[in-house]
A and B are shown apart, each in its own frame.
Chain A
Amino acid sequence: DAKTTQPPSMDCAEGRAANLPCNHSTISGNEYVYWYRQIHSQGPQYIIHGLKNNETNEMASLIITEDRKSSTLILPHATLRDTAVYYCIVRRTGANNLFFGTGTRLTVIP
């Protein structure tokens, strides 16, 4: 799998946008970028994924750079319930499963 690099922790003020970066400089042309989050004591929750184009859904936006070497997950209006560990995963070509790194622990501050 293409290696991903995420900051170990970040803080964000409640109500502000949370921008979580991910570096994946060795990504291959047909590998997707996935984002999950894990709130304490729960199973990972799917957030969003993309290949080349930016993606948006009801939870977040995913911005992938043109060279695809990095991406940013944006939570537009962070709430306290968004406090979690966020995992950026590059899914290798042909793989049906996911390999998790250590993620970014996001803390939303009141």
Chain B
Amino acid sequence: SAVISQKPSRDICQRGTSLTIQCQVDSQVTMMFWYRQQPGQSLTLIATANQGSEATYESGFVIDKFPISRPNLTFSTLTVSNMSPEDSSIYLCSVAKTVGPGNTIYFGEGSWLTVV
């Protein structure tokens, strides 16, 4: 398994500001992902964080709004830029230690953001 720590766990943010969420894993992992879960909804994949290169974004998500960094095999950040109340969500980091079918993907506890 993998132990995933996210910071902050919870925050209240002002409209128009930006917040960076950190994801730290206790061991090296091959894949890192960022998901969003809006209130009462299921999880939606934002992007795959690639080490040493630009993240791969899913349809509907753009780098200017959700810049992502991944400097090494155990750490990634997601920034939510120019926040609006619609960005109030849980943001989840997930990881996979190996690549390929049948591997296991683990999730962090999430970062609860409320934009006021």
Contact = CB atoms under 8 A, between A and B. Distances in A.
Contacts, number: 54
Contact of A44 (B45, B48, B96, B107): B107
A80 interface: no
Interface in A32-90: 32, 34, 36, 41-46, 49, 51, 87
A46 B104 contact: yes
B42 A97 contact: no
Contacts of A101: 42
Nearest to A102: B42
> B interface, how many residues as a size bin?
20 to 34
Q: Does more than half of chain B's interface fall in helix, strand or loop, or is it mixed? A: strand
Nearest to B31: A96
A91 B43 CA distance: 15
Contact of B48 (A51, A97, A102): A97
24 contacts: A41-B112, A42-B109, A42-B110, A43-B107, A43-B108, A43-B109, A43-B110, A44-B92, A46-B104, A46-B105, A49-B102, A49-B104, A91-B101, A93-B101, A94-B101, A96-B33, A97-B31, A97-B94, A97-B105, A98-B43, A98-B45, A98-B105, A99-B45, A102-B42
